[in-house]
Structure 1
């Protein structure tokens, strides 16, 4: 049964290099070419930002964005003084005196840098005025402190603050994409569409940046402060900007446009050019919502044709003999009538159907065996039309419920493939 039903598997990156996917297929007697090893879109997105941060060379000539890595270094230098200890107590007191909210001075995560990056930048910008007041106070109290003067100079630099605000807005889109790619109930072809939508969005952003227009519809945080930037001010404090404020603003547009161009390049090489082809044909063959949203019901022949496609595919994958199309349709009608009757006659189902949550309904439906007696062939066929995403993040979440030390002991003593199976 396992070999018949299994169509995909997911692992953390190191297991791919150890050959675990191939070993799993061998142990299960399954075809390596059929099962789809986890294609971690969210992890690949982190690699895209990593390539950009390292200012790597692409397959084509790319503008340099060395300033992107420099942003993280400068922000980290500022936060190291206020994230804990006496510095943190100082900014808390300043926030209380100013009657401003202090957002947690978040720190970068080395193993998940891209995941935490935007949160670090966003909180830093929200706390900017508090940090500025602290440094100005220290500069007056310790006029010979060169480090404080340098930190204050960076904090009030037009280019630094402007680029940081722009990147923070742009990273919001990568954050949303990452969250969508880690959603458990998202289907593979929906992942594909989200990834393609992201590419379209960044191409539009790049086009607007190159036209020296701020894409306000996609950069809300930056757009709110645009007039302050045109005046060379931020939070009421003069920034050490160029004499020509207009030139300074256009410079930011060029730099942010370069960043979008580099991200787009590595996004294409890391993700778009390598999206599994299965995702495309799954959308055509197995997304039943496409049929539901059709402008008119499918004809009898069209229904039979679609059912025949799924029937042939499921038979080939499972290597078992399914009943005829007519028998399967009969099982489907039986199941449909049972569900309709249950919702019409059972107070339990009726109450929950009209209530706020549909999740509890599904729990009862999945465990009510009386609904499924005699329709097992149709259910087997239906499993091939309701694939969930193959997501390495989900596997990590499931694994976290098991004692880590116990897993470590097993992996040391036992064959890894046998343990996973």
Structure 2
């Protein structure tokens, strides 16, 4: 297009900082069995997107297997103004026993079983980032790790997801032995199981769908930002834990405290009139940790929050690639885009502080000539409050004040 000889030319300048584009971290990835499901709606080893209250798809799953009950437990945790959870369901064939089903859940590492979640983004347009395989994460042979727990970390890493996994729900020692086989900051262990009412009978079911539901609720309460723990949150839709967990807020020598010390989240019963209980009533989930080795990234709200920041940078900064040349304006626009997004997170209390900078030592002329530059950023996610120390002492100045008052009164009488 040539400029007019006599007229007006308008050129849009596009070097402003970009608004941040955030990702949905609360899409659930649920893998399990539903032997009576409609095979057309839910083909095996295929990711299927649904809302947890879908009136067509939920009945189409049937009630047999593990998926239907897990959806019910997720729905029971949803909060105010929350209609449903977004769920990617992967149905696998039910084996003759749990071991055969576990083989189907682990899959071939490429397209079947857990690997089907990796296809959800390209196929469905949503990526599950809260995964669970209820009923199939506790079984072990001897001292070996559970195969599903072993297969989950690489899947979670690809998706930038976290998985909630269920322990054996048998004893404290069994739970700790099981926990010792897991090492990933993307795995969140929980134990024991929970009891629900199935028609007229109490049934023991895995806790992980309830915890996932709590996570979905918490993200919803925080406008989708995953920087907050799910600890000290009520668990609805259950009639109790599968076994009672002894717990005290002031005594580390209790089963609940020992499980927490080993990074295992627990569900606790509230106790009316017991000040050291977690609550006065109901059932409460307590758990802050993932199963990683690095204490710097111990809290799952921190690791999920950092995923959220990284994904925001990916979605927001890709706009600049190929559209702009490397100039001072471009570099400043990128720096400002990153800084403004982190500024908003700090204003909301999600991070405590941040730094974004472009430095010479990370950017040589040779790299710039190749169309590359590097931005350094640092941020500090707010840690969850899990221990409050109170130092209690006598206050002698109060006696000095009392003496002053007494002397003043005596002087007034004598005078």
TM-score bin, normalised by smaller chain: under 0.3
Question: Which fold has the larger relative contact order, with Cα–Cα distance below 8 Å and residues 6 or more apart in sequence?
Answer: 1
Normalization by structure 1: what TM-score? 0.22
Relative to total residues, which structure has the larger helix share, 1 or 2? 1
Relative to total residues, which structure has the larger strand share, 1 or 2? 2
